[in-house]
Amino acid sequence: MPTQTSGSVGSTTPRQAPKSTATAAPPERKQPRSAAEAAVDVPVGTVLELSDRLNELVEPFTHWASAERKLRSYRTRLTRSVKRAERRGATARRKATTEAKRTRSRVERDARKRRRTVETTLQRNRNEVETRVRRVTDQLSALR
């Protein structure tokens, strides 16, 4: 069989000659058969799959020792899972507490700053008013 290159330049992959269709059944005759096979294969495969899974579930509990081993394994996994959840909860609680303390400190600091500003402004205004009142009082006493 001669080797020909495909349409792309530089490709050296040999092209195979098409197979003869004289011995193969026409595709329209294969279709019903493959559909029927699939209709049978799917339920059979499903039953086998379920059987395998059921065996995997029941297998550890067929003997007393293996059942105890499996239960111990479950207990260990559950304990690990609970401890992991506890650690994560403690971490989240610590973070939330720290964030709350930070926020509280920031708000208190801001409130103190605003209070100082208000008190300073109030004192300045009070002094200014007192000074003006004294000046006006002095001017009125000088006029009398």
- Contact between 47 and 41 (Cβ < 8 Å): no
pLDDT of residue 1: 45
- Check residue 20 and give its pLDDT: 52
Give me the mean pLDDT over the 128-138 stretch. 96
Q: How far is Cα of residue 17 from the mean position of the Cα atoms in its chain?
A: 54
Of the two residues 59 and 64, the one the predictor is more confident about is 64
> Do the beta carbons of residue 117 and residue 111 sit within 8 Å?
no
The confidence score (pLDDT) of residue 143 equals 84
- Alpha-carbon span 139 to 136, nearest angstrom: 5
The mean pLDDT value of the chain amounts to 84
Whether the pTM exceeds 0.85: the reply is no
Mean of the pLDDT values across residues 85-112? 96
Element (H, E) at 119: helix 64-143
Amino acid symbol at 34: S
Choose between 132 and 56: higher pLDDT: 132
In tens, the pLDDT along 11-40 reads 555 556 555 555 555 667 778 878 888 888
- How big is the CA angle at 23 (ends 22 and 27), to the nearest 5 degrees? 85
